[in-house]
Chains A and B, each alone.
Chain A
Amino acid sequence: MLKQWKRLKERITPTDIVMWVIGGAILALIIWGSTATIAAGRYSSHHWFDFVIFGLAQGSIYALIAMGYTLVYGVLRMINFAHSEIFMSGPYTAYFVAAAFYRSGFLDQHPLISLLVIFLVAMIISSGIAFLLERIAYRPLRTAPRLIPLITAIGASFFLQYVFRGLYGSGFQAYPVVKIFEGEWTFGEFRILRFQAVVILAAALLLAALYSFIQRTRVGKAIRAVSEDKEASYMMGIDVDRMISTTFVIGGMAAGAAGVLYALMFKQVHFFMGFIPGIKAFTAAVLGGIGNIPGAMLGGIFLGLIESVGPSLFLDGLGIVAPYQLKDAIAFSMLVLVLIFRPTGILGERLAVKKA
């Protein structure tokens, strides 16, 4: 007993104690704020329902983008910072298709076919750019130290941003409104905006498809093998380069689809639009445990929910003025909180034993 205690004492460093105190303080603040908010009774149940739906819609988009970060991290152990530009390129290009459909009236007559085309265009452009990016910017540097591809990724991010700014202009474009998705569905006291239901459903379908692709198919198995151990999979006859390219293409497709959903939700596209969602999705991937696919999904949805519900729930009760300005602060404090108690994210990094 005494021996155990001694061993425990050796393992706890002063840093740990400081971290726990910070974590405990954040947790106490959250509990105190939430209790005060709920006690004040300013929001009724349908308000909370609205907050949750808004958060889910935003979160499922983060989850789709986070897939790209986590997949690439899985196979290459690098953070692809240009992923936010992959996210931007697809819907921005598809905007021109959407605008043409809108002007000709095709969008209103055949909304589903138009949407399908818009999604396809966005996904093809995004995955094409992801493919080229890997081929041109990352592959030649694969044997270089880990810091070098990271800096290259940041450079590629700027390059792509300003290429698109040059191509499409620095102003923003308004995405056309899809009429069938306007309005809302009501269930008694609760209601849900149609396009948010569409965004949540579409994202859920895509995430399920992606997950089963990685888990069930031969290619998915090969990708998982590459992320476990590149050399061993090479010896087993897996074309490693091709699997890495495939990973980028899949991540790009998810980002392109997420981009169109984002454009449908916010109806604006802009050359800089990828930056903030990109950072948030990266956070989501770390939150869930980077390299871990269900973790990225969970992290994205968790982050979306916290951003939407957090300011009202945690800060309103503390009497803080204009809490929504602090939305990002809350999201990132949650990241700190999660990493203090679970340094590898909610579901943990999924790495092969020898690399962990």
Chain B
Amino acid sequence: MMLFVLVTVVGLIAISVPAQSQDKLGVIKIKKGEPIHIACWMVIAGENASLGTDTKRGVEIATADKGGKILDHPIKLSFQDTGCNAEGGQAAATKLAADPTIVAAIGSNCSSEAKPGVPILWKAGIATVSPSNTAPYLTDPKRGPEYDGYLRTCHNDKVQGAVAAEFAIKQLKVKKAATIHDGSVYAEQLAAVFAETFKKLGGTITAQEAVAPSDTDMRPVLTKIATGKPEFIYYPIFIAAGGHITRQVKEVKGLEKTALMGADGIFSPDFYKAAGETAVGMYHSSPDFSAFAGGYKSFLEKHQKKYGEKPLAPFHAHGYDAAMMIFAAIEKVAKKGSDGSLTIGRQALRDALYATKNFKGLTGNINCDKYGDCADPKIGVYKTTTDNVKNLVMPDKPIWKPY
């Protein structure tokens, strides 16, 4: 009899122990009335600040739409600058990882920041949803387990690079193209995808050049590119260097008539400031705003009312969706205590985020695959007009789309 009781007791303890600690990555306990802390690591200062500010505003509008509350707990947002480079991403992630109150993170903006930053966050059990990292590497099947806590609501550049190449071949009917990247994960991979697709479609790549993000004098490298006589130059880089290339390309002999194309990283009014009149007539690949869901119109109205201007970059809606996705996942996994507290399991939250299926977002239907690619990518090609540059607004309708 004694033995039976003992076995039962031991058995009960054995069952109840895993049931109590539930989550293999630990839990976050939020007391009654305390906020749910969501940290954003974005580029909110410096020359690429428009990119981060845009997604930051998306997140803020999503929070306001949610009434500032999840399950009767207020939502607290914090922002950390990442600088659009690997060092900044690493520093921001380290800071976030040291804060045990953070439930989930939104970011980063530049793929170079995510590469060192995501493993640091995931080691601390923080899952992060990026609104604008587009480099293929981050959701590649070979990326390794340290990226298990990573998801994104924006497109993968495998799509974007291919759209740009198709546009060049099918619409502009060019045969020879050159690419320029700036050594960042984003630009290097995007330029490579473009080159690969362009060659597959029968074109010739005359040069695959690179510059440093801090370079100002692009004339020598452009002169070198001119020796290959390309009809099209694709430079999916960032604002400062992109502005210099756009300004200087017309001054280089042999490139006066070459078509220019950038990507979503320089699809911003700040780029028009940097490049001035010379941006007129150039192309950009970027998410197709006209394919966004019906809620996008009212989002734009709220944006205009709250910030007094149009969006600054293409990723505000992705920021909104990232925030909404996290809110929904928290609602799904958070357990309410009798004292009004909340308990959120870190692994459970990550799994709930990955399980997001058929979620109606602003950017379309969000379905996460097992590597964290959640977007429903619709990429269009835009052309800049004189009015765009004069009024510093991006064109809102694509001139060409592949679908």
Contact = CB atoms under 8 A, between A and B. Distances in A.
B186 to A, nearest CB: 15
B78 to A, nearest CB: 19
A324 B180 CA distance: 10
Nearest to B272: A174
B222 to A, nearest CB: 9
Given A324-B210, A327-B212, A177 B276 contact: yes
Interface string A42-70: 11001100110011001000000000000
Given A50-B219, A268-B244, A312-B224, A172 B209 contact: no
A33 interface: no
Given A47-B227, A322-B210, A308 B273 contact: no
Interface in B207-257: 208-212, 214-217, 219-221, 223-224, 226-227, 240, 243-244, 247, 251-253
A50 to B, nearest CB: 5
A328 B45 CA distance: 26
B227 A43 contact: yes
Interface residues of A, number: 39
B220 A322 contact: no
A171 B270 contact: yes
Contact of B243 (A50, A268, A311, A324): A268
A120 to B, nearest CB: 24
Contacts of A51: 220, 223
B83 to A, nearest CB: 11
Nearest to A312: B224
B196 interface: no
A174 B273 contact: yes
Given A191-B253, A312-B220, A325 B247 contact: no
B46 interface: yes
Interface string B197-214: 000000000001111101
Nearest to B182: A325
Contacts of A173: 273
Given A266-B217, A272-B46, 17 more contacts: A50-B252, A54-B220, A58-B217, A170-B45, A171-B50, A174-B273, A265-B217, A270-B240, A276-B216, A309-B220, A311-B220, A312-B224, A324-B220, A324-B221, A325-B211, A327-B215, A328-B212
B47 interface: yes
Contacts of B210: 322, 324-325
A171 B274 CA distance: 10
A193 B223 contact: no
Interface string B59-86: 0000000000000000000000000000
Interface of B: 45-47, 49-50, 183, 208-212, 214-217, 219-221, 223-224, 226-227, 240, 243-244, 247, 251-253, 270, 273-274, 276-277
A180 to B, nearest CB: 16
Nearest to B275: A174
A134 interface: no
List the 4 shortest-distance A-B pairs measured between CB atoms, nearest first: A322-B210, A324-B221, A325-B210, A308-B220
Contacts of A321: 208
A307 B274 contact: no
A267 interface: yes
Interface in A259-286: 265-268, 270, 272, 275-276
A98 to B, nearest CB: 13
A184 B253 CA distance: 11
A42 B149 CA distance: 49
25 contacts: A47-B226, A50-B253, A54-B219, A54-B223, A171-B47, A171-B50, A171-B270, A172-B47, A191-B253, A193-B251, A265-B217, A266-B216, A266-B217, A266-B247, A268-B216, A268-B240, A272-B47, A309-B220, A311-B224, A316-B224, A323-B224, A324-B220, A324-B221, A327-B215, A328-B212
B212 A325 contact: yes
Contacts of B244: 266, 268
Contacts of A266: 216-217, 244, 247
A29 B219 CA distance: 25
Given A54-B217, A266-B216, A324 B49 contact: no
B276 A322 contact: no
B223 A47 contact: yes
Contacts of A322: 208-210
A194 B393 CA distance: 31
Contact of B209 (A43, A171, A193, A324): A324
B224 A324 contact: yes
Nearest to B216: A266
Contacts of B226: 47
A170 B244 CA distance: 18
A194 B277 CA distance: 18
B277 A177 contact: yes
B7 to A, nearest CB: 68
A46 B253 contact: yes
A327 B273 CA distance: 27
B227 A42 contact: yes
Nearest to A304: B217
Contacts of A276: 214, 216
A166 to B, nearest CB: 12
Contacts of A193: 251
Contacts of A46: 253
Contacts of A308: 217, 219-220
A356 to B, nearest CB: 36
Contacts of A324: 209-211, 215, 220-221, 224
Contacts of B273: 171-174
A170 B50 CA distance: 11
Given A54-B217, A170-B49, A171-B47, A267 B247 contact: yes
A170 B46 contact: yes
Given A268-B240, A268-B243, A50 B223 contact: yes
Contacts of B251: 184, 193
A318 to B, nearest CB: 14
A315 to B, nearest CB: 10
B217 A307 contact: yes
B391 to A, nearest CB: 15
Contacts of B216: 266, 268, 276
Given A54-B219, A267-B247, A311-B220, A172 B240 contact: yes
B236 to A, nearest CB: 15
Nearest to A262: B216
A348 B122 CA distance: 55
A316 B219 CA distance: 16
A267 B276 contact: yes
Interface in A148-202: 170-174, 177, 184, 191, 193
Contacts of A171: 47, 49-50, 270, 273
